[in-house]
Chains A and B, each alone.
Chain A
C-alpha cells in the first residue's frame, strides 16, 4: 500500500504545483489577490502531499518493503534503523524526492513569510511552483522511487557501506538545503524581474533564504570534506574532484551574491548584477545536480549509455537557466541605475570581492568541465588536478583574503583609505610576524606556508579589530557578529589547510603485536587485532596504545569493516584530536601471522579546517537570526499593492 500512497501523493503534488505556478504567476503579474490566495493554498497542499510521499518512502525503507524496487536495491533487513532512514536519500530516486521535499519546506517559508509584499511573493511562488512541477515530472516519469517489482526479493541488496556513516548521512540533506535554498533566491529574482519590483525590496525579501541556503551549503561542504578526511584513510580533506567542485561552484557564487546583495539592499547599488548572480547561483546548483546525477562526470560515454535521466535534467537546466537569462536580458536594461559612490567605499570593496569570487567560480567551472568539452570536441583526454587549481584558483583566493578586512571597515558611499589602513595595521604586523616565524622554522614549502599563515593572521586579527571597534562604538548587535565570524572562519580554515598541507608527519609500517612506530612525537604500540561483529558487518579491530614520553595517554581502535551483503570493505580510521592537532591511525591489510600494515599521521591544525567552516556557517546563522528577530519586532515594510 505504501508505494501506491506515495505514487498517488506525488501525482496530487504535481497537480497542485501546477496550480501554484499558474495562479502565482497571475497573482504576481496582474496583482490579483484571489489568484495569490489560490497559489498559497495550492502550495500548502503541494507541501503536504510531498511530505506524504516522502513519508511513504521512509515507511517502505523502515519496514523493508522489498516489493518497492528502490528499497530492494538500496536496503537490507539487517541494516540499523538509522541507516534504513538515511538510506532513503542514499540513492538517486530518493534523493530527488528529498530535493522536492526541501523545495516544499522553502515554499512554505515563502508563503508564511510573505516577504517583500504580495505581488513579489505571489510571483516567487509561481516560479517555485514551476520548479516543483519540473522536478515532479522528472520523478514520476524518469526516476520513480515507488516502482514495484514482482515477485519481491526476499532480501535487499544493501546500502553502499560508505554511506553508512553519520557524517555522510547528513551531508546530502545539508547540501540540498543549500542548493534548493538558492532556488528560493532565484524565484525572488525572477519574480522581481517579472513584476518590475527590482529595487532594494526584493533583495531584502530574499536575504533570509539566501542566508539559510548559504549556511547549509557551507555546512554541507564542510561535512563532506570532514567525511572524506576520516573515511578515505589518507588524511586528505579536499581533492578538487569534479563532484566536490560541483558543490563549490554554487558556494562561491552564493558567497558573491551574499556580498553584492548587501549593497543592493542598503543603497540600491548593483541591482542587475545581484539579480544575475541569483540566477547564476541557482543555475550552478542545477548544473551541480546534473553533473553528479547524469553520470557525465565518469565519462562522456556513461551519459550517452543511459541518456534518459541526463537528458531530462539537461532539459530542466536549459529551460530554467535559459528562461531566467532571457527574462534578465529583457527586463534588466529597464532597471534604473543611479548608483553613486566614491572609489574608496564599501561598495568598491564588495565589487572587488565579487570580481574575485566569480572569477574563482569560473576557474573551478573551467577546471571541472574543460576535460569533458575537450573530450567531446576532439577526443583528447586530459586531467585537471590539484596542481592546476594551485596555480589558478589560489592567487584569486589570496587576493580575496587580502581585501576581505577592508569590506566591513570602510563606510558606505565614501570613506578614507588611510584611517582604515591605520586601524588594520596590527593585522598587517601579525601577518608579517607570523610569516617570518614560519620562514625561520624552515620546511620544504616554507614560502607557501608562510604566505598561508600570514594571510590567516591578517584576516583573523582584522576580525578581532572589527569586533573591538563595534563594541567600543556601541554598534554591537547580533548581526554584526556575522562578518566577524565569517571572516575569522576563513582565517581558521586557512590555518588548518597550512598545518595539514605543510607540517603533516606520516608513518607507515608493518607491525607485529607488541611492536610500535613513531610519528610526530608519539609512539604507537600495536597490540594486535580482534574480530568484532557489527549489526551488518564484521570487523577487524586493532588496539593501538598511544604513548607520549613513555606514558600511555590513549588507546585507539581503528577498524577494517567487511560488509558481506554489499561485498565491500571499508576502513574506519581512529582519530584522537586535541583540537589543535589530530593523531590519525588507519588499519591496513593483513600481512599474515598477526602482522598488519598501520598508517599513522599527525595533522597539525587539521581540526581548524572544519572549525573554520563551522564558524563561517555560524556567522551566516547570526545574521539570519538577527533578521528574524528584527522581522518579529517590526513587520516588513510591504509596499502598497
Chain B
C-alpha cells in the first residue's frame, strides 16, 4: 500500500503507458550515444511524477525530455552541458543526485558524520569493556 497510495495520484496515465517509455523511434542509432542518453536519463528525474527517473517515467513531459536529451547529444553537446541546460530550466529539482552546496552539506556528509560518531562511541565502549574484562580476570 505504501507505494500504491502514493501512486494512485498518477498511476492511471502512468501504467497505461508504462511500456511506452523509451520506445523505438526515440532510440539513437549510435550505441555509445544511446548509452550516454540512458545514463543521463537515470540521473534526471521526471519533474511531474513522484520519484521516478526520466528513464522509468511514462509521462509525456518525460518523453519530450528524453527526445531533447537525444537531440542535444546528437548535436555533440556534453553530458554536463545538457544537465546544466535542464537545471537552468527546471532547477536542481530535476537532478536525482543533489548538487553539493552549502544547503546540502548536511545531506551529503551526514552519513559520514553518523558513522564517525558511531565509531567513536563504539571504540570508547570497547576500550571500557576491555578495561573491565582485564580488571575482572587479571592475566
Contacts and interface: CB of A to CB of B under 8 A. Distances in A.
Interface of A: 89-90, 95, 160, 162-163, 168, 171-172, 175, 224, 227-228, 231-234, 236, 239-244, 246-247, 269-270, 292, 297-298, 338-343, 347-348, 351-352, 354-356, 358-359, 362-363, 366-367, 370, 374, 378, 380-388, 391-393, 396, 413-414, 444, 508-510, 560, 567-571, 586-589, 597-599
B85 to A, nearest CB: 17
Contacts of B93: 381-383
A414 B133 contact: yes
Counting from the closest, the 7 A-B pairs by CB-CB distance are A588-B19, A385-B96, A340-B132, A355-B118, A233-B18, A243-B2, A387-B97
Given A366-B106, A366-B110, A388-B98, A243 B3 contact: yes
Contact of A569 (B5, B12, B110): B12
Interface stretch (B47-55, B59-67, B68-76): B47-55
A232 B7 CA distance: 10
Contacts of B108: 392
Nearest to B11: A162
B95 interface: yes
B6 interface: yes
Contacts of A568: 11-12, 15
Given A356-B115, A380-B92, A571-B15, A508 B22 contact: yes
A128 to B, nearest CB: 24
A388 B15 contact: no
Contacts, number: 209
Contacts of A270: 125
B115 A339 contact: no
A392 B111 contact: yes
Contact of A162 (B7, B126, B130): B7
A597 B23 contact: yes
Contacts of A355: 115, 118-119, 121-122
Interface in B70-129: 91-99, 103-104, 106-108, 110-111, 114-115, 118-119, 121-122, 125-126, 128-129
B129 A340 contact: yes
A614 to B, nearest CB: 19
9 contacts: A89-B1, A236-B56, A340-B133, A363-B111, A382-B99, A384-B96, A570-B11, A571-B18, A598-B19
A387 B115 contact: no
Interface in B6-47: 6-9, 11-12, 15-24, 35, 42-43, 45
A233 B19 contact: yes
A388 B109 CA distance: 11
Contacts of B35: 444
Contact of B115 (A391, A396, A570, A598): A396
Contact of A351 (B17, B115, B126): B126
Specify which of B4, B24, B132, B136 lies most central, judged by the most chain A CB atoms within 10 Å of its CB: B4
Contacts of B136: 340
Given A392-B111, A569-B12, A589-B20, A383 B95 contact: yes
B96 A387 contact: yes
A243 B119 CA distance: 29
Contacts of A385: 43, 45, 51, 53, 96-97
Contacts of A243: 2-3, 5-6
A383 B17 contact: no
A221 to B, nearest CB: 9
Contacts of B95: 382-383
A327 B12 CA distance: 48
B96 A358 contact: no
A355 B9 CA distance: 38
Contact of A384 (B5, B22, B98): B98
Given A269-B129, A571-B18, A383 B111 contact: no
Contacts of B11: 160, 162, 568, 570
Contacts of A240: 51
B2 A175 contact: yes
Contact of B1 (A172, A339, A383, A589): A172
Contact of A239 (B8, B51, B98): B51
Contacts of A380: 92, 103
A383 B96 contact: yes
A589 B98 CA distance: 34
A358 B103 CA distance: 24
Nearest to A509: B24
A162 to B, nearest CB: 5
Given A162-B8, A168-B1, 10 more contacts: A162-B11, A227-B3, A243-B2, A339-B125, A366-B110, A382-B93, A383-B93, A383-B95, A388-B107, A569-B15
Nearest to A598: B19
Contacts of A172: 1
B133 A413 contact: yes
A168 B2 CA distance: 10
Specify which of B1, B8, B99, B106 lies most central, judged by the most chain A CB atoms within 10 Å of its CB: B1
A312 to B, nearest CB: 18
B49 to A, nearest CB: 11
Nearest to B52: A239
A567 B1 contact: no
A548 to B, nearest CB: 23
A234 to B, nearest CB: 6
Contacts of A352: 122
Contacts of A362: 110-111, 114
B8 to A, nearest CB: 5
A374 B103 contact: yes
Contact of A228 (B3, B21, B24): B3
Contacts of B128: 339
A381 B53 contact: no
Given A355-B118, A383-B93, A510-B24, A342 B130 contact: yes
A382 B129 contact: no
A475 B86 CA distance: 61
A246 B2 contact: yes
A382 B53 contact: no
B100 to A, nearest CB: 11
B1 to A, nearest CB: 4
Contacts of A244: 2-3
Contacts of B18: 232-234, 571, 586, 588
A508 B19 contact: yes
A71 B94 CA distance: 39
